[in-house]
Amino acid sequence: MKKLPLYIASGAALLAACPATAKDAPDADSLKTTVEKLVSFGTRHTLSSPDHPTRGIGAARRWAAAEFRNIAKSCNGCIAVENIDRVFQGRVPRTVQMLSTCWRCKRAKEGGIM
């Protein structure tokens, strides 16, 4: 489960590089910009700050959600941005709330969350 933020970030990178219209190949400059933005958060570790405005998992999550909402606008709402909230305890040093920002294709079958 520790790799979930990386999967979210990977999804953000793919969406940023491949807008709603189909392309033959991803845009290299867009991919580079996305990776640089992800690096700018310093860390996306699960136990990093969920509240800091520019650093850590919370800042990365808010940025990804904004990117997903921009994509939704460009495709007339073809995707929905959602948060999945869970609390974990036991295998981590302290109880931690996990909030995963995801997108769902509105035309997909129920449960088609990315």
Whole-prediction pTM value? 0.69
Does 112 fall in a domain?
no
DSSP state of 113: B
Does 114 fall in a domain?
no
Does 28 fall in a domain?
yes
Q: Which domain holds residue 54?
A: 4-105
Domain count, the chain: 1
11 has a pLDDT exceeding 80: no
Of 54, 40, 33, 45, the closest CA to residue 8 belongs to 45
**pLDDT averaged over the chain?**
80
Helix, strand or coil, per DSSP, at residue 105:
strand
Does 84 fall in a domain?
yes
- Average pLDDT for residues 14-43, to the nearest whole number? 78
Does 47 fall in a domain?
yes
Chain Cα centroid distance, residue 97 = 16
Question: What pLDDT score does 43 carry?
Answer: 87
